[in-house]
Amino acid sequence: MNEIKLTRKELYDLVWSEPLAVIAKKFGTTDYGLRKICKEFIIPLPKSGHWMKIQFGKPVIIEKFVENFEGPTDVSLSKIPSEENSITIAIESSPLQLLTKEIENDRNVSLVVPERLLKPDKLIESAKKALAESYGYSSHGNRLHAWDQLKILVTKENIGRALRFMDTFIKAIRARGHDIKISNRDTFVIICEEEIKISCKEKAKRVIISNSPYNNTELRSTGILSFNIDGFYTKEWKDGKLKLEEQLSVILAKLELEGKRLKNEREERHRYWEEEDRKRKIVENIQKGKEKQLEEFKSLIKNSQKYRDVLMIREYIMAIEEKAKNSGNLTEELKNWIQWAQKKTNWYDPFLNHPDPELEGVDKETLTFIKSNLMF
C-alpha cells in the first residue's frame, strides 16, 4: 500500500489545484471518497463549473481555508491495489485531545463535580447568597442572575447544579495555575495574562403563548445547562450525549488553548509594531540625515558666496588704495575708510569671522538687524 500523509492545509491546496476526478485517479480512488473526507475535515471544495471557468479565463471564487478545526490534524491518501480503492484517515491526536488527556491525568486537578458543595470558593459563596435573594424575569425565561457576581443565569431548580459545576471549574482553573475574576458584571478566566469572558447558563427557547391573539412569544427555560466562551470568539458546551459535568476536561483544555492563542496573537502584534517602529525610525533617521546633508550643502553655498563677495570686496579696497597712491590722493580720511572697510570685511569673511561691536545684532545672511524682544 502506497501512503502519502497530508495536513489539512495540504489537502485543501491539493483539491483547489486540479479537479477531484484527476486527483482521485492519481490515488486510485473515487471523487466521492475525496468529497467525503473533505467534508469530514471541513475542507471547502470548488463549486460546479469552477474548472470550466478557469479553462475559459473567467474569474472564480476560491473559498478560504477553515483554520478552526478540532479534529484529526492529518489525512493519509492510500492507494490500495484492489478493485475497491479507498482513502484512509490517519487519526492523530489534535492539540485539544492531547491537552484534554493531560488535564485528565493531572493529579492536582479534580474533575469530579460533587453532589453537594464542599468548601466552596469565595466567589461561589457570594454567588449562592446573591442568587438566593434574586428572582426570575419572564424576559429571561424565569432564569435567575445576580449583578456583580459570577455570570450564572439559571432557574431556581438548577442553581445548586450550576454552583457545584462552577465551583469545580474554578478550583480546577486555579489548580492549573490560572485565575478568575469579575469585572463590569462579566466573568473572566485569566490564562497566559489573557482575559477570556465566560458564563454558565441554562438554555432557553422562545415559544408562542397559547390563546394569544397576536402570537406573542416568551422565553422558557429548557433545563439544559451550558458553559460558554463569550465575546468575539464564542464556544458553547451543553448537556447532550454527555452531561456538562462530563465535559469539564475538554472545557479546560479549550480555554487553555484559547489563552495561548490570544497570547501568541498579542506577542505577534507586539513584534509587528516593534518592527514597524524600527522601520519608521530607520526612515526618520534617513530623512534626518538627508535634511542635515541638505542644510550643510546650503551652508556651503552661502559660505562660498560670502567668500566670493569677500574676495571681490578686498579687490575693490585694494584697487581704491592703489589708485589713490598712484594719483597722490591717499588722504588721511581715505586711509581711515580703508581701515574701516577692511575691518567690516574681516567681520563678514567666513574664514576670519572677526567680531565687530558696531555690527553686533546683524544677521550676516540677510545683512539686517535681528529683531529683539527687548523693550526700551
> If you write DSSP's letter for every residue of 185-204 in order, what string do you get?
TEEEEEETTEEEEEEEEEEE
* Residue 274, amino acid: E
For 98, residues 6+ apart whose C-beta sits below 8 A from its C-beta are none
Residues in the chain: 376
**By CB neighbour count within 10 A (0-12 exposed, 13-18 middle, 19+ buried), where does 22 fall?**
exposed
Please name which of 163, 159, 156 lies closest in space to residue 141, comparing C-alpha atoms: 156
For 170, residues 6+ apart whose C-beta sits below 8 A from its C-beta are 121, 123, 124, 180
**SS3 label, residue 76:** strand
Instruction: Please determine, for residue 1, whether its predicted confidence score (pLDDT) is greater than 70.
Output: no
Strands 186-191 and 194-208: antiparallel
**Predicted pLDDT at 138:** 64
Distance CA 131, CA 124 (A): 10
**Predicted pLDDT at 139:** 66
**By CB neighbour count within 10 A (0-12 exposed, 13-18 middle, 19+ buried), where does 16 fall?**
middle
Per residue in 194-208, pLDDT (tens digit) is: 999 999 999 988 877
Q: In terms of pLDDT, which residue wins out, 57 or 230? A: 230
CA atoms within 13 A on the CB side of 320: 15
**Predicted pLDDT at 83:** 42
Distance CA 144, CA 136 (A): 5
Instruction: Please determine, for residue 57, whether its predicted confidence score (pLDDT) is greater than 90.
Output: no
* Residue spans per domain, the chain: 2-92, 98-269
Please name which of 154, 196, 144, 203 lies closest in space to residue 173, comparing C-alpha atoms: 196
**Predicted pLDDT at 54:** 84
Distance CA 263, CA 269 (A): 10
Distances (CA, A) of 104 to 43, 101, 142, 198: 31, 5, 35, 21
Check if the beta carbon of residue 203 is closer than 8 Å to that of residue 149: no
In the chain, the percentage of residues whose pLDDT exceeds 70 is 92
Distance CA 376, CA 358 (A): 19
Average pLDDT over residues 159-175: 95
Average pLDDT over residues 53-72: 85
Evaluate the CA torsion angle 104, 105, 106, 109 in order and state its sign.
positive
Tell if the pTM clears 0.85, that is, is over it: no
**Predicted pLDDT at 144:** 84
**Predicted pLDDT at 322:** 94
Residue 308's H or E segment, with its range, is helix 248-327
Indicate the average pLDDT of the chain: 87
Distance CA 180, CA 200 (A): 14
pLDDT-based confidence at residue 93 (cuts at 50, 70, 90): low
- Residue owning grid cell 489545484: 17
Check if the beta carbon of residue 164 is closer than 8 Å to that of residue 172: no
CA atoms within 13 A on the CB side of 52: 3
Please name which of 73, 111, 124, 68 lies closest in space to residue 251, comparing C-alpha atoms: 111
Q: Which residues of 77-96 are buried (b: 16+ CB within 10 A; e: fewer)?
A: bbbbeeeeebbeeeeeebeb
Cross-strand pairs, 181: 188
Instruction: Please determine, for residue 140, whether its predicted confidence score (pLDDT) is greater than 90.
Output: no
Check if the beta carbon of residue 138 is closer than 8 Å to that of residue 219: yes
**Predicted pLDDT at 80:** 44
Any idea which of 54-63, 83-92, 96-105 has the lowest mean pLDDT? 83-92
In the chain, the percentage of residues whose pLDDT exceeds 90 is 57
